[in-house]
Amino acid sequence: MKKMICLLFSAALLFTLCIVVFADTPLLNPDKSDNENGMPYWYPLDTDGFEDFHGEDLPYVVDDADIMTDAEEAQLSAKIESIVRKYGIGYVAFTDDDLHGLSPEYYSSDFLHFNGYGTGDEYGAVTFFLCFDPGDRCWRTTAINSCEDYFTEEIMYEIDETVDSAIRSGDYYDAFMLHANYVEDLFEEIATTENWTPEDHDFKYTYEDEDDYDPYYENYGYRNGRSKEGPSAVTVVGAGLIVGLIGGGIRVASLRKKMKINPPRTANNYLIHDSYFVRDRRCDYLYTTLTRHEKPREPSSSGGGGGSHGGSSFSSGHSSGGSFSSGGRSF
């Protein structure tokens, strides 16, 4: 009984915390300087225990790389707003010129999660992200939660083919409009087809170069609902057992050690201290080794096949903000 009250209380506390922290969208704040962790202004200071929420008064265009005119932004915003209202999904056009050390798919996924773009019970949302980071100029269509299931690699490929030439010729506004039209058509199709699956889609482009696929994709199918449970009882008790085993083992080992003899292995007690002197000390440089390891927080984005056009990439995974699927190309 006590445990139940405890659980309810902490759940309520977490919930209010979420509301207090995330209710006001930082996207409307004119100050866009990085937060104290060196992450973007919309990034939470603490991502532990983050849960999806419904953001309020969210903009439909967040042009942080500032590549569109105000007029273009207004037109694109109106277009996206009509899609969002009609189909009830979260959709936003997003640009930035700094990935803050994250991969583009994680960055755009975090953008959706942390700003509360998800809609409905399952917090589905999708963004078209144009990245102008000098180290990684690329675009990504990134979908989270229930929207992940619609944006399969074949769909992503079709989107990429649709927007490719516009982006490469610098017509970014056109690319966004093309993307919005594609998304609108796709959701129209989903809304009017009973039990729509990506196989129902009439593909205009077929992706053939299968070697380019992220192997992760193989296991990534059309799913209904996702489990979002905490650790199972087995995990919790297992973790406790392992720590208990180790702790008990160390304790008994230290007690047993007290029962043994520990003879000295040095003659330090018999060293005449004033007697020590150094005649010569010589140090010669030999060689240097340099190793580098990818940071664990940032999973590798499959770079694709190289070449001047860059490759496509598609990945799905979990970031601090939750799961996503994402695809796009470099430019």
Partner 1 sequence: MSERLESYKCPSCSAPLRYDPSGKLVCDSCSNEYDPEVIELMDSYDRQQAEFDWGDYKQKLAENAERIENSVVYVCRSCGATVETDATTAATHCPYCDNEIVITDRLEGGLKPGGVIPFKIDKNRAIDSVLAHFKGKKLLPGNFKDRHTLEKIRGVYVPFWLFDAGVDGTMVMDATKVRMWSDSRYDYTETKHYLLSVSGSMDFAGVPVDASTKMDNDVMDALEPFDYSEMRDFDPVYLSGFLADRFDEDPDVSIPRANERMENSAESVIRSEASDFTTVSVRKSLMRLTHPTVRYVMLPVYVLNVKYNEKNYRFAVNGQTGKVVGELPISKLKSWLYFGGWLVGLGAIVSLIAYFLFR
Give contact residues for partner 1 (rule: CB under 8 A): 7, 10, 99-101, 135, 230-231, 235-237, 239-241, 243-245, 247-249, 251-252, 255-256, 258-272, 275-295, 298
Residue closer to partner 1, measured from CB, 191 or 243: 243
* Region for residue 254 given its phi and psi (left: phi exceeds 0; alpha: psi -120 to 50; beta: otherwise): alpha
Q: Which segments of 23-134 does DSSP mark as H helices, in order? A: 70-87, 104-115
Residue closer to partner 1, measured from CB, 108 or 119: 108
Residue closer to partner 1, measured from CB, 85 or 258: 258
Cα R_g (the chain), whole angstroms: 27
Of residues 151, 115, 100, the one with CA closest to residue 316:
151
Instruction: Please state the closest distance from residue 284 (CB atom) to partner 1, in A.
Output: 4
Residue 146 is inside which H or E element, if any? none
User: Amino acid identity of 184?
Assistant: E
Residue closer to partner 1, measured from CB, 36 or 202: 36
**Cα–Cα distance, 97 to 129 (Å, whole number):** 11
Residue closer to partner 1, measured from CB, 225 or 230: 230
Residue closer to partner 1, measured from CB, 77 or 100: 100
Instruction: Please state the closest distance from residue 218 (CB atom) to partner 1, in A.
Output: 26
**Cα–Cα distance, 153 to 141 (Å, whole number):** 10
Instruction: Please state the closest distance from residue 2 (CB atom) to partner 1, in A.
Output: 12
Instruction: Please state the closest distance from residue 246 (CB atom) to partner 1, in A.
Output: 8
Under 8 Å between Cβ of 147 and 126: yes
Instruction: Please state the closest distance from residue 330 (CB atom) to partner 1, in A.
Output: 15
Residue closer to partner 1, measured from CB, 59 or 311: 311
Residue 214: how many CB atoms within 10 A of its CB? 19
Instruction: Please state the closest distance from residue 147 (CB atom) to partner 1, in A.
Output: 26
Instruction: Please state the closest distance from residue 8 (CB atom) to partner 1, in A.
Output: 12
Q: Which two tokens stand for residue 73?
A: 């932004």
Tokens 């060196």 -> residue: 38
CA distances from 306 to 44, 302, 311 (A): 35, 11, 6
Residue closer to partner 1, measured from CB, 14 or 19: 14
User: Amino acid identity of 132?
Assistant: F
User: Amino acid identity of 213?
Assistant: Y
* Region for residue 138 given its phi and psi (left: phi exceeds 0; alpha: psi -120 to 50; beta: otherwise): beta
Instruction: Please state the closest distance from residue 295 (CB atom) to partner 1, in A.
Output: 6
